[in-house]
Amino acid sequence: MSLLEERINESRLERGMSASELARAVGVTSAAVSRWEKGQVKNLRMEHLFTIARLLDINPEWLATGRGHKKGHLLNQQGSIHEPGPPTYEHLNREEQILVDVYRRLSHSTRRNLKDFVLELAERLQ
């Protein structure tokens, strides 16, 4: 498979995820996912590419280029190898799960504003 739109669509279907579910999880509109899968977007934002790869349990290099293994290892934030997988919430209480779900539905600029607010609040609490 050589096209990004085909790799996104096939991987989403393999995970049994609808386009609207992927859109919600990535924090974009269903129309954005439709544009990705129709090949109407030539340069997918890196943050979206990595989120899609994590959600669909695929190697981001394969998703971006078609090269390498579809299922691949990723480095976690500590720099060690991490097997990609679907996001899990078992360590969060229900209120925290709701916050994460709402955050994922926010636009990029709203997420950035919220992050700035939370970091400022955290500094005040120290």
Q: What is the pLDDT of residues 16-47, one digit of tens each?
A: 889 999 999 999 999 999 999 999 987 889 99
pLDDT of residue 2: 67
Is residue 22 within 8 A of residue 9, CB to CB? The reply is no
pLDDT of residue 87: 55
Task: Of 80, 86, 60, give the one whose Cα is nearest residue 72.
Answer: 60
**Per-residue pLDDT reduced to its tens digit, 63-113:** 988 888 888 555 444 444 444 444 556 677 888 888 887 887 788 788 888
**Per-residue pLDDT reduced to its tens digit, 47-64:** 999 999 988 889 888 898
pLDDT of residue 41: 87
DSSP secondary structure string for all residues of the chain? ---HHHHHHHHHHHTT--HHHHHHHHTS-HHHHHHHHTT--SS--HHHHHHHHHHHT--HHHHHHS-S-SS--EE-TTSSEE-------TTS-HHHHHHHHHHHHS-HHHHHHHHHHHHHHHHHH-
pTM comes to 0.56
